[in-house]
Amino acid sequence: MKRKEVALITGGSRGIGFGIALQLAGAGFDIAINGVRPATAVNNQVTELEKLGAKVLYCQADISSADDRARMLGEINGFFGRLDVLVNNAGIAPRERKDILDATEESFSELIDTNLKGPYFLTQSVARWMIAQKNQFNDFRGSIINISSISAIVASVNRGEYCVAKAGVSMATQLFAVRLAEYNIPVYEVRPGIIHTDMTAGVTEKYDRLIEGGLTLQKRWGYPEDVGKAVLALATGLLPYSTGQVINVEGGMLTHRL
């Protein structure tokens, strides 16, 4: 019997990450989700994923920490014995939105460590593990999916550190796509737009007005399941000849118009 594939979704217990986890669990993946909250805080999410038929592991870990990343992968290996899909989703917003003329080095370092350095080196470790699994299992496919943001290419001067980190994630996607091509391990970038999550709760009124005014072609917010469905297509191999590519999930926001 074919072994079930396992997906790790960082930041997978809330928002976009949980939307991704739900889609993958419903499609037959076993799931490892990561977050910084204690396990007791995510019992409901774990139960919901298990009801979809998934075997679920929650890993409390800060992906900006090398020790936490190594421990998390050890837990996944001990629990599942494999990892087929990495979804680098975990990320934070600036604690305070400040104009780039006033932003602090502390905020910049925190965003870079969590949103760029963490996923970059987690990908490095997972890529090595995936290469080893390629050599061990004939049916192993493997894929890596980075969740960036339209902020990778759309400048927001009141959260420059976030934009710089997401632009770095975009380049990391290209770098790992090139490096892992010889092993036929595709690497993709999913670029969400305005997605209704707890991270955007504080700017709901602002974006309600902008969406109604035509900011997006599709006049609605995006939802975590919209991103989840894009990740599902990539994780299940429906775009096998598209490594290194960007999938925009932004309701047509980036479409040029006259």
What are the DSSP calls for 81-142, one per residue?
A: S---EEEE------SS---TTT--HHHHHHHHIIIIIHHHHHHHHHHHHHHHHHHH-TT---
CA dihedral 202, 205, 207, 211 (to 10 degrees): 160
Set 58, 120, 162, 188: catalytic member: 162
User: How many angstroms separate the CA atoms of 116 and 43, rounded?
Assistant: 28
For residue 237, count other CB atoms closer than 10 A to its CB: 10
What's the CA gap between 242 and 171, in Å, rounded?
16
Verify whether residue 223 is a known catalytic residue.
no
| Residue 248: C-alpha distances to residues 14, 137, 152, 239 (Å) | 21, 32, 11, 14
Q: Which residues contact 218 (CB under 8 A, 6 or more apart)?
A: 251, 252
Max Cα distance, the chain (Å): 59
Residues assigned a catalytic role: 162
